[in-house]
Amino acid sequence: MGSTSRPPGRPAHADHGTDRPRTVANVTTTVGMAGLGIMGSGMARNLQRAGFDVVVWNRTRSRAEALAADEMAVADDLPDLAWRSDAVLVCVSDTPDVEQVVLGEEGLVHGLGEDSLVIDCSTISPAATRRAAAALADRGVAFVDAPVSGGSEGAANGTLSVMVGGTAEAVAAADPYLRAIGSSVTHVGPVGAGQTCKLVNQVLVVVTMLGVSEALLLAEAGGLDPLTAIRAVENGAGGSWMLSNRGPQVVARDWRPGFTVDLQQKDLRLVLEAADELGLPVVATSLVSQLYRTLQHDGLGGEGNHALVKALERLSGFTVGGRR
């Protein structure tokens, strides 16, 4: 699969998928990947390692072409990606991006045939997810929402946690692709339930990182070596993934993102919207969102979400791994 040209006679934006026989009931070999950011590029490589032929697309074409060296095909556009693929995974930033990629005037919908499968690994609004699924169902296209957690490390290593929403049939069809990118794949309910579960995950991520930040500052101010403190507690009741993986980054002043502040803040917006709709208090999550906002105002939105500690450092006068 090295060609980047559309099969002869296939116009760029026609609904040209319907004459290609496909079924989501069987495991097939060609998968499309739309979105090649921090997460999507690692996911594409793991799909290829699992034995699938991979066709890629990205809004910035150079990111897609970088994967051509790995013998992945580069689609001309989204309808072309859909036409070539038995299933398409989508991993883009926000709700409007998914709506444009899947249903837009130049979206996947114009290349999807009946019995095609779309797997959305983005983190977006559960309500928008249900609307997209309904629109595709009218065309005979199955849709699964499968947001992921595990950061850039999980995407690179194929060890993501995947929270899946959809019908039992569609989830079964998506399972081989999801097993290629994740070590934990859980069907949590109907379409939209995956996104709701991802919002649960994000509450745990940011509130835990707030606790990690406060704990590391206490260690620093109390005269402890922060790395030694991490080693002392990480296997006890206070241990967590964020402490073990992001705590040492904080101490090293390493702000490379597994997940950026900007993207984390986008997810928190979705959490706060959902909580507002349900009438739920999310006090700690709201506080973290305000702290992240101060970092964004200072131009730090591209740093890793563990940079949350910087907001507390400014309040305390102490710097983890540094000097007062």
- Tokens representing 59 are 């809004």
Please check whether residue 51 is in contact with residue 74, taking contact to mean a CB–CB distance below 8 angstroms: no
β-strand partners of 241:
none
Please check whether residue 88 is in contact with residue 117, taking contact to mean a CB–CB distance below 8 angstroms: yes
Q: Which of 6, 45, 198, 310 is catalytic?
A: 198
Report the largest interatomic distance among the alpha carbons of the chain, rounded to a whole angstrom.
71
Positive or negative torsion for Cα 237, 239, 241, 243: positive
With CA atoms as reference, report the closest residue to 128 among 25, 269, 245.
269
Active site includes 266?
no
Relative orientation angle of helices 40-49 and 168-181, to the nearest 10 degrees: 90
DSSP 259: S
125 three-class SS: coil
Residues designated as active site: 198
